[in-house]
A and B are shown apart, each in its own frame.
Chain A
Amino acid sequence: MSEMIKVGMADLKICKYPDKLTTLGLGSCVGIALYDSTTKISGLAHIMLPDSTQIRNNTNIAKFADTGIVELIRQMVAAGAARNRLTAKIAGGAQMFAIKDNSDFMRVGERNVEAVKAVLAKENIRILAQDTGLNYGRTVEFDSATGEYLIKSVGKPVKVI
């Protein structure tokens, strides 16, 4: 029996085979699933903001793309995953409201996705698949048994990437 482990907002968790990781209702946040297909050690981070260095109060490392991904890698490697086998799948980063606004809070989804990609590139982790942007929320489930990333949205068919 596999267990479904819930990851909250600004949170990250890892799991081993055959458990699954889920995060509910991703909006402008991004859900980053990392996977080592040999050991099947999996990790999921739900980040809210692109860059911890831009924020004064940055002690919650799971909140930011830069510190969150690095911490997720650290925990997975500590659990036995091989650093060089890690691959990524990402989802989220939507723009939930169509407000024309110059301030950058409306573009935060797009900036989150850009930051996640930049951090993954820097860490030499290949992105196998993504489902990002647009204007709707996503619930995601990552299956450590198969490495599949399931994406559920309101009024849309379930997508597996």
Chain B
Amino acid sequence: MARIDLDSMDSTYMDVLREIGNIGSGNATTALAQLLNRKIDMSVPHVALLGFDRITELIGSEEDLILGILFGIEGDISGMMMFLMKPESAHNLTNALLCTDNQSAEFTEMELSAINEIGNIISGAYLNSLAMLTNLKIITTVPSTTIDMAGAILSVPAIEFGKIGDKVLMIETQMGEGEAINGYFLLIPELDSYDKILAALHM
């Protein structure tokens, strides 16, 4: 069975993880596009090992406001999944969905509930495709949404990785770049789960 060592990972593994990100976020983006009945583009997933000091770089600075939806992953593999959006993007999303025009800094309870539900749908689409690909049972827990500083939100996955090393493995996809709605997926399996995923793919 493959044993992943984050510090000496070869490019084949990186390619496989990138492909997982590609399929997962492709499905998730499609689900969101259908929900909103509009076209949404997606970037090629980026797989990167980043030091703790650099994990907020993909979003901006540590103090930038960001909305994060966190899901626990259970079943044959365990870990977390995060979907991140800038607040403006989240407003554009809820305005499109609820036919409202809220541009204020605050989110109503209705909007947060809608965001949670959108998170549910897209993460479900992401993880279902991963489950089908690997034939593993993957279940998500009820999501939780938080709006806060990027550093504080990203400390949650960083701590999880901190248990095994000094780097964070990010499988990151940006959807809707330059558009009204864009976001990032982060898939954060526990270390054992990488091995399970790769073994299921006969790596």
List residues of A whose CB falls within 8 A of some B CB: 8-11, 24-29, 48-49, 55-57, 60, 63, 94, 96-101, 103, 105, 108, 135-139, 154
Contact = CB atoms under 8 A, between A and B. Distances in A.
B146 A97 contact: yes
Contact of B141 (A48, A60, A101, A137): A101
A91 B78 CA distance: 30
B152 A26 contact: yes
Contacts of A49: 159, 162-163
Contact of B155 (A9, A101, A136): A9
A137 B148 contact: yes
Interface in B40-58: 52-53, 55-56
Interface residues of B, number: 37
Interface string B1-45: 000000000000000000000000000000000000000000000
Contacts of B153: 27, 96, 137
Choose among A27, A29, A103 the residue with the greatest number of B CB atoms under 10 Å from its CB. A27
B166 interface: yes
A27 B151 contact: yes
Nearest to B147: A154
Contacts of B201: none
A99 B63 contact: no
A138 B159 contact: no
A25 B57 CA distance: 13
Interface in B70-92: 70-72, 78, 80
A108 B52 CA distance: 17
Contact of B148 (A29, A98, A101, A154): A154
Contact of A96 (B65, B71, B141, B146): B146
Contacts of B164: 55-57
A24 B62 contact: yes
Given A9-B55, A154-B147, 4 more contacts: A25-B151, A28-B159, A29-B159, A97-B144
Interface in B158-178: 158-160, 162-166
17 contacts: A9-B52, A11-B53, A24-B62, A24-B151, A25-B62, A25-B152, A25-B155, A26-B152, A27-B151, A49-B159, A55-B163, A97-B156, A99-B72, A99-B143, A136-B152, A137-B155, A139-B62
B152 A9 contact: no
B155 A29 contact: yes
A24 B61 contact: yes
